[in-house]
């Protein structure tokens, strides 16, 4: 047996027998599984780049607790079952020191059971469904504002302008559905009358039937809880069918540059919600944007910013207590109140986010303009005619 073959054999045996105990001052390893392939690949990759940039920045500033930080990232193929298995692998085989959340509410919901079992703090930067955090879980933390308030700005502006009626449509999956339900509640509270409400299945492409019915109810405002493809299709078909509410907003999709590239003039006046924009006056938002652009050669989305901020928040908690001990870090994260490049962070006693704001954008002359809330806005909403 050649020395090299012997060496690789030893390596294989070592790998099979589990990882060797790390030296006391080895790197702090943080594990995560993300949707790098499958349905959620697009946002999942942004989030993973956010984690990577955070790793780089932490190390540039001397690491965490004087140790280097190393991210261990796997692909969960956008499947909850795979995510569950991978977190189990990260924790019991790779023996990572800490974990960060996966992409999407559905996968976060599934893997939270594993991280709870092993008492690992998990900051879940892209789980926007509050119910995940309201099940007595102790170690899960939410970063973004809940699905229910994505269109708070739309309802607020409409009510202030004296509009009376609203129509609400949504894709029939966990996140858009929660979003539509929340919007309905907010609208009722603001005194708007819900004149039309309907859901459509995931992957739907023909909205003409739905829009014709919607047109008959003649709403002042249309709220659509969407992902990207459906948002574009709805905007196009509204134009074709001449459906013209005074205000039209989509939840996800309206914030992505490609939305305007595909729709051109049709995107004008359309509102979209966003968890984050590089133009928002948060400390370090612009620096993050520039560093990201430099590192990955493309613009960050809010998923990237949320991933980065989630990792920063976790590091903040660890620094506060000077240890990786889950119970102590948990206490620190529950008490923490801060503003990062991503916006405000504060959670209630269950770890659910209560401070972060979702802003409302409007496409004006081909540009995204933040129109709500007032203290973060860089423009005023415009109305057709």
Partner 1 sequence: MSARRPMVLVLIAVGLAALAAYPTVGTGYGVRAMLQLFMWIALAGSWNLVSGLTGYVSFGHVAFFGIGSYATAILITRAAWPWLPASLAGGVAAAVLALVIGYPCLRLKGPYFAIAMLGLNEVLRVLVSYFEGLTGGGLGLSLPTLQATLPIYYVMGATAAAVTLLTYLILTSRFGLRLMTIREDEIAAEALGIDTFRHKLSALLLSAVGPGIVGGLAARDQGYIEPISVFPLATTITMIVMVLFGGKGTVWGPVLGAAVLFVFQEAVWARFIYLHQLLFGAIIIAVVLLMPRGVLGLLQLKYRLPRTI
Residue ranges that bind partner 1, judged by CB under 8 A: 18, 36-37, 39, 74-75, 77, 79-81, 84-85, 88-89, 91-93, 106, 109-110, 113, 116-118, 131, 135-137, 171-174, 176-178, 199, 201-202
Rounded least distance, CB 373 to partner 1, Å: 28
Task: Map residue 339 onto helix, strand or coil.
Answer: strand
Asked if 150 contacts 225 with a C-beta cutoff of 8 angstroms, the reply is yes
Closest CB to partner 1 among 229 and 344?
A: 229
Closest CB to partner 1 among 138 and 298?
A: 138
Closest CB to partner 1 among 147 and 285?
A: 147
**How far apart are alpha carbons 311 and 143 in whole angstroms?**
10
Residue 159 DSSP code: H
Rounded least distance, CB 273 to partner 1, Å: 19
Q: Residue 179 is encoded by which pair of tokens?
A: 């979003």
**How far apart are alpha carbons 268 and 331 in whole angstroms?**
46
Rounded least distance, CB 361 to partner 1, Å: 25
Closest CB to partner 1 among 170 and 260?
A: 170
Residue 375 DSSP code: G
Rounded least distance, CB 125 to partner 1, Å: 19
Rounded least distance, CB 211 to partner 1, Å: 20
**How far apart are alpha carbons 66 and 139 in whole angstroms?**
24
**How far apart are alpha carbons 118 and 164 in whole angstroms?**
51
Rounded least distance, CB 171 to partner 1, Å: 8
Picking from 256, 267, 280, the residue whose alpha carbon sits closest to that of residue 343 is: 280
Picking from 68, 53, 363, 43, the residue whose alpha carbon sits closest to that of residue 227 is: 43
Closest CB to partner 1 among 100 and 318?
A: 100
Closest CB to partner 1 among 99 and 318?
A: 99
Rounded least distance, CB 275 to partner 1, Å: 21
Q: What are phi and psi of 250, to 5 degrees?
A: -120, 155
Q: Which residue has the tokens 């990237």?
A: 304
Closest CB to partner 1 among 97 and 277?
A: 97
Rounded least distance, CB 224 to partner 1, Å: 15
In Å, how far are 80, 108, 350 from 363, measured between CA atoms? 35, 32, 36
**How far apart are alpha carbons 142 and 119 in whole angstroms?**
16
**How far apart are alpha carbons 58 and 51 in whole angstroms?**
10
Closest CB to partner 1 among 70 and 172?
A: 172
Asked if 80 contacts 337 with a C-beta cutoff of 8 angstroms, the reply is no
């Amino acid at each position: 047996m050649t020395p090299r073959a012997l060496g690789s054999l030893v390596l294989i045996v070592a790998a099979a027998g589990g990882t060797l105990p790390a030296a006391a001052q080895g790197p702090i390893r943080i594990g995560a599984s993300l949707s790098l392939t499958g349905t959620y690949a697009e946002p999942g990759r942004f989030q993973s780049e956010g984690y990577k940039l955070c790793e780089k920045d932490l190390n540039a500033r001397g690491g965490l607790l004087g140790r280097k930080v190393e991210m261990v990232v796997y692909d969960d193929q956008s499947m909850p079952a795979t995510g569950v298995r991978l977190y189990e692998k990260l924790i019991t085989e790779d023996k990572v020191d800490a974990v960060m959340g996966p992409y999407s509410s559905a996968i976060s919901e599934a893997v939270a059971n594993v991280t709870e079992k092993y008492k690992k703090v998990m900051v879940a930067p892209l789980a926007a469904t509050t119910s995940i955090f309201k099940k007595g879980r102790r170690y899960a933390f939410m970063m973004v504002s809940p699905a229910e308030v994505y269109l708070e700005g739309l309802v607020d502006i409409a009510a202030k302008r004296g509009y009376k009626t609203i129509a609400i449509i949504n894709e029939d999956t966990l996140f858009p559905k929660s979003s539509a339900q929340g919007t309905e509640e907010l609208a009722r509270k603001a005194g708007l009358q819900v004149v039309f409400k309907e859901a459509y299945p995931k992957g739907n492409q023909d909205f003409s039937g739905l829009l014709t019915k919607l047109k008959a109810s003649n709403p002042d405002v249309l709220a659509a809880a969407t992902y990207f493809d459906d948002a574009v299709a709805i905007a196009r078909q509204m134009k074709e069918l001449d459906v013209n509410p005074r205000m039209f907003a989509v939840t996800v999709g309206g914030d992505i540059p490609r939305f305007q590239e595909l729709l051109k003039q049709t995107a004008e006046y359309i509102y979209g919600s966003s968890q984050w924009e590089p133009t928002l006056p948060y400390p370090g938002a612009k620096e993050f944007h520039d560093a990201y652009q430099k590192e990955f050669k493309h613009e960050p989305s809010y998923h990237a910013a949320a991933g980065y901020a989630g990792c920063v928040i976790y590091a903040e908690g660890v620094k506060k207590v000077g240890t990786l001990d889950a119970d102590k870090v948990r206490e620190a994260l529950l008490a923490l109140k801060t503003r990062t490049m991503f916006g405000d962070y504060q959670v209630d006693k269950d770890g659910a986010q209560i401070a972060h704001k979702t802003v409302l954008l409007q496409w004006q002359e081909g540009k995204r303009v933040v129109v709500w809330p007032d203290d973060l806005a860089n423009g005023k909403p415009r109305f057709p005619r």
